[in-house]
Amino acid sequence: MASNEISLWYHSIPQITKYWFTGSVALPLLGRFGILNSYYLILDAALTIFGFQLWRPITALFYFPISPRTGFHYLMNLYFLYNYSSQLESGHFIGRTADFLFMLVFNWLCLVLIGLAADIPLLMDPMVLSVLYVWCQLNRDLIVSFWFGTRFKALYLPWVLFGFNFILGSGGVMDLVGILVGHLYYFLAFKYPQDFGGPTLLKTPDFFFRFFPNTRVMGGFGVPPPARPRNDGAGAAAEGAPRARGWGAGNRLGD
């Protein structure tokens, strides 16, 4: 019975999130039990560029060293990955798997460039934070609960996590990198074309749709915030458009 329930839960995970979640479980476990040498899984600029070890940017996304000291942090990463990536894929990006995958690829490429330049060996932390940041911006007024019963708008969640990790001694640098990349995607994909009336700078390449064509669905959760009204009145219609229903009281973190 338990195995059937786990199987049903696993198969209920949205497609792209399932791939990401599976890789983030499998690769750290393979490294933890010594099946794979973690030295070959981290991002290293010299070995990647000059040694042509081109798999490192990919493995650095999924791998995380598991130990008694880092185990809790790793489990929290898995929770945030599963929760917020699933909600984005089955919410705002429902029926648009190609667009969701492009968002992940864009964030990942940005993190690879930053990682190579700043000598960041692991990309799981900032990648998870970048996706969480996008979800929080698309659901900025939703009230979420954190530990010890604290409640606040989703807009502030990335900064709460940054402060939490900073206090615990991890420095919070990875959180800042993730917030930066997440904000870059959100600004280019939503804020610049909507609030500033600029062109759409991020467009999903056509070959993504060959593998993941859009499907027509009804409903969905999470919508981008409405554009600011323009002087010529062009934004009035957008401002009055109905918004999708959110998650009510929000999601309890850390349960």
Residue 223 falls within a domain, yes or no? no
Q: What is the pLDDT of residue 112?
A: 98
CATH of residue 184: 1.20.1540.10
Q: Is residue 235 part of a domain?
A: no
What is the per-residue pLDDT across 187-239, written as a single tens digit (0 to 9) for each? 999 998 887 888 888 999 999 999 999 987 654 444 454 444 444 443 333 33
198-212 pLDDT per residue, tens:
888 899 999 999 999
Tell me: pLDDT of 12 over 50: yes
Task: In whole angstroms, give the CA distance from residue 129 to residue 12.
Answer: 23
pLDDT reported for residue 165: 83
At 116, which amino acid appears? L
pLDDT above 90 coverage of the chain, percent: 65
* Residue 219 lies inside a defined structural domain of this protein: no
pLDDT digit string (tens) for 106-163? 999 999 999 999 999 999 999 999 999 999 999 999 998 877 778 889 999 999 999 8
Average pLDDT score, the chain: 85
Non-local (6+) Cβ contacts of 128 within 8 A are: 77, 80, 81, 84, 178
Q: Where are the alpha helices (DSSP H) in 52-142?
A: 56-62, 71-80, 86-90, 97-118, 124-138
Tell me the C-alpha distance between 220 and 244, whole Å: 7
DSSP 252: B
Q: Give the domain extent around 114.
A: 2-214
Mean pLDDT across 88-107: 96
Report yes or no on 110 lying in a domain: yes
- Domain annotation covers residue 76: yes
Find, among 244, 239, 242, the residue nearest to 227 by Cα.
239
> Per the structure block, which two tokens stand in for 206?
């056509």
pTM for this predicted structure = 0.82
Using a 10 angstrom Cβ sphere, with 0-12 exposed, 13-18 middle and 19 or more buried, the burial of residue 135 is buried
Give me the number of domains the chain comprises: 1
Q: What residues contact residue 115 under an 8 Å CB cut-off, 6+ apart?
A: 43, 57, 60, 121, 123
pLDDT recorded at residue 248? 40
Q: Is residue 146 part of a domain?
A: yes
> 181 in a domain, yes or no?
yes
CA distance 224 to 218: 17
Q: Do the domain assignments include residue 248?
A: no
Residue 244's pLDDT is 36
CA distance 144 to 250: 5
pLDDT of residue 4: 84
Mean pLDDT, residues 35-56: 95
